[in-house]
Structure 1
């Protein structure tokens, strides 16, 4: 039996339970926090809440007088606590945020990527209601330097997803089973 990383709804429930004993500001949006924490498991979410509380305590000691954990404390904690599902993952790269506005031109391509990557994650109930299947993947092809990687980084940033950069050489091995093992390492969330 495989126990995978928590889904969006599961992360929201875990965060709600972890935060019910903390003095959390009513402005903290648990749904948004759950969306941002893709790949986080229960221990990671616990560490995130603990780190956010520590940021609030440090701020309180400096004399702000505020004793509640706010969204800015969670934002600071996110810089320190990462998803353990992806630690040591093949192809894991530190992603500097790339926004859609940073990419000039390619409006049609950007629109299609937003519709095929972001929309299914943001509006899954609409896809179910309309009887649409979510795309299983997107293939970008073109000559070197035409912004394929930059587009994927922007899609990962805007949808709060992990960005794994893997070449064919990383996956190929002359030994039996090693290629499959490397592929399973790249896709920690899927049963392959």
Structure 2
């Protein structure tokens, strides 16, 4: 639009709606605004779903099966996940799980971001299998108990060896007839 001097001015329409090719411009703006808002909420929900999935177990080192519950949050969206992982054998581990975002799915024009996701995967180990160098807490406690017992036994054995060495030295003196009367008084029966 132009004023009487030919200067461009904003076009304001009062009391009616501007249409282009039969479609309301304001209606399209409002629809796009709503779709963008829903898409943003859907992306926040998807991020929360992913965070909840990432908290779930992948493999179990100490047991054949492990399960877990995870949670995730992003922006104003919250999700919870549940999953399990299992050792099939020495070379293969499997895992599966899913998560659900609270607040439902979000539609954004031509699509919908759903409120739940699932996952499944497996690990196949290639090459030589090395035993892990880490030990479980249970094994650590057993080893500590055994080490304590062995330490006590070792101290007692050292005391006995010292006593026996002293007796042996006295016996050697007697056997070599290199004994003096004062040394005999030290020998205990």
Normalization by structure 2: what TM-score?
Answer: 0.19
Structure with the greater relative contact order (CA < 8 A, sep ≥ 6): 1 or 2?
1
Larger radius of gyration, structure 1 or 2? 2
Would you tell me which structure has more strand in proportion to its own residues?
2
